[in-house]
Chains A and B, each alone.
Chain A
Amino acid sequence: MSVNILVVDDSSVVRKMIVKMLHLAGLPIAEVYEAGNGLEGLSILNEYWVDVVFADINMPIMNGEEMIERIRQNPLWADLPLVVVSTEGSETRVNHLRAMKARFIHKPFAPETIRSVVTEMLGLCHEQPAT
């Protein structure tokens, strides 16, 4: 099974870093879509099939929390796997995100972390990437 991934972050550098980590993690990736804010992210979700969303919190136009709230309000996306990738260290904010069924990956992170989270969320088998 190959997965389609959406990366939502206002920094093109961070989007590149996440895509690099996804490839290093050896995940079976089909398509990677990128968006610069929550509104663009929702637009891509409306247009393409996405298996997992990686999102930042602080973004212009529409931040990550609002995007996640809107995703969860849509019955089609109620169970869409969401991963927030952030330096956020506040338990208050992290718990709010978890309450919306979002997983949280704290930066900096290793490829193994991203692999573990995605395989668990999608129920993929834990095959080691080819070396």
Chain B
Amino acid sequence: MNNRPHSQTVSLVAVETIEKLALMFLVPEEEMSDGATQAQRAVSVAFTGVWQGVLFLSADNGILPELAANMLGYDDASQVPPEEQDDALRELANVMCGNLLPAIAGPKPVFHISAPQVVPEGRFPEVFCGSPPSGAARLCVDSGVIEVRLFIGEPVAVNAG
């Protein structure tokens, strides 16, 4: 039994978003730069609709300057302020979540996606609200690892009247 039924969709959407929005491309893990860092920055995006849940996105700290520079048009990644690096990660999560939900639920349902939040401790949970992720992806770019976890909770009750 597949206990992460949406991992393939999570991976496909995450790769497309990273490539198109951040202009960063995947490499095999063994080809990552030696300087790849272990410390991570993480953000979460909560959503409600036919289901409720949360998407977590984390990136090694070493990725963030390049990611933000590519997204925002900076010529020199070292010039990107830390708050804009966080903003870029938040926007990446927002776009991923916005594309993932219709990819899983189809085009009809309407979801409300909350503003992405930085996860203070920098790492996200293995279990959220008692459930494991229903989809996860671990993606390597040259300067580090990006991880995505999608937690989907119980369907939201809809009043018939």
Contacts and interface: CB of A to CB of B under 8 A. Distances in A.
A98 B97 CA distance: 23
A87 B95 contact: yes
Contact of A17 (B17, B71, B103, B108): B71
Contacts of B99: 87, 89, 106-108
Nearest to B107: A91
Given A23-B73, A89-B107, A107 B84 contact: no
Contact of B107 (A86, A90, A107): A90
B94 interface: yes
B77 interface: no
B95 A13 contact: no
A105 interface: no
Nearest to A23: B73
Interface string A50-75: 00000000100000000000000000
Contacts of B71: 13, 17, 20
B111 interface: yes
A17 B91 contact: yes
A13 B108 contact: no
Interface string B79-111: 000001001101100110111011100011111
Interface in B101-145: 101-103, 107-111, 113
Nearest to B103: A89
Given A93-B110, A108-B17, A16 B73 contact: yes
A104 B111 CA distance: 18
13 contacts: A14-B91, A16-B73, A17-B72, A17-B73, A20-B72, A87-B97, A90-B108, A90-B109, A90-B110, A90-B111, A107-B98, A108-B21, A108-B99
Interface of B: 16-17, 20-21, 71-73, 84, 87-88, 90-91, 94-95, 97-99, 101-103, 107-111, 113
Given A13-B88, A89-B107, A108-B17, 17 more contacts: A11-B87, A11-B91, A13-B72, A13-B90, A14-B91, A19-B73, A20-B72, A58-B113, A86-B98, A89-B111, A90-B111, A91-B108, A106-B99, A107-B98, A108-B20, A109-B20, A110-B20
